[in-house]
Amino acid sequence: MGINGPRFEELPHTADWAMRVTAPDLAGLFAEAARGMNALTGARPAPGPATHRTVNLSAPDAESLLVAFLSELVYAAEQERITFARFHVDMFEDSEEWKLKVEMDGAPILSLNKSIKAVTYHNLQIRQTPKGYEVEIVFDV
């Protein structure tokens, strides 16, 4: 995972998919997790005009917010056949909960190699590292 290359990598898992994601900040971690999930599924957008969407979510902690955000993308892929490729993420934490606003651009799915059933909480923990943030995510496939 180089500075300019993808900041996600697939991890060994016997049955499902696991991925490690790193980023200098939390907002970048969320965007990179979404890009990593797209890479795992092999989602290819159809050429043509982009679809723009704004997602607002809240959760009691950052991990729950990450699950909620990626679950939105799972739903969009399965139900609406839309994949998103560009993400502008803003995050806020107040005393009660974490809030997320994502501006995303996407397109109808041209092809998809693999679908994800769900984003799990299995051993899910966002960690601070000397270089920023890191998380390992397990997907049920």
Partner 1 sequence: MISIHDLTRISDHEWEIPQNFRPDMRVPVRIFATRELLDQIAGDKSLEQAVNAATLPGLVGRVVVMPDMHQGYGFPIGAVAATEFPQGVVSPGGIGYDINCGVRLLASSIEAEAAAPHMDTLATLLNQYCPSGVGKDGVVRVGVPELERVLREGARWAFKNGYASETDLAHTEEGGCVEGANPAKVSDRAKERGRAQIGSVGAGNHFVEVDVVEAIFDPETARAFGLREGCLVAQIHCGSRGLGHQVCTDYVQEFQGAVKRYGIELPDRELVCAPMDSPEGQAYLGAMRAAANFAFANRQILAHSIRRAFEETFARVGARYTVPLHQVYDICHNMGKLETHEVDGERIKVCVHRKGATRAFGPGSPSLPPEYQQTGQPVLVPGSMGTASWVLAGTKESMLRSFGSSCHGAGRTMSRAKAKHDVRGEDLRRELEGRGIRVRAGSMSGLAEEAPRAYKDVDAVVETVCAAGIARKVARLRPLAVVKG
Residue numbers at the binding site for partner 1 (CB under 8 A)? 10, 12-17, 42, 59-60, 63-64, 67-68, 71, 75, 77-79, 81, 109, 112-115, 117-124, 138, 140-141
Identify the H or E element spanning 23. Answer: strand 17-23
Query: Position 21: which residue type?
Result: V
Minimum Å distance from CB 58 to partner 1?
Answer: 12
DSSP state of 19: E
Minimum Å distance from CB 77 to partner 1?
Answer: 8
Minimum Å distance from CB 48 to partner 1?
Answer: 18
For residues 92 and 121, which CB has a smaller minimum distance to partner 1 in the complex?
A: 121
Please state, in angstroms and rounded to a whole number, the distance separating the CA atoms of residues 8 and 49: 28
For residues 55 and 118, which CB has a smaller minimum distance to partner 1 in the complex?
A: 118
For residues 90 and 111, which CB has a smaller minimum distance to partner 1 in the complex?
A: 111
Token look-up 């899910």 returns 124
Minimum Å distance from CB 92 to partner 1?
Answer: 20
Please state, in angstroms and rounded to a whole number, the distance separating the CA atoms of residues 82 and 31: 17
For residues 55 and 68, which CB has a smaller minimum distance to partner 1 in the complex?
A: 68
**Angle, CA 13 vertex, CA 8 and CA 19 arms, to 5°:** 15
Query: Position 85: which residue type?
Result: A
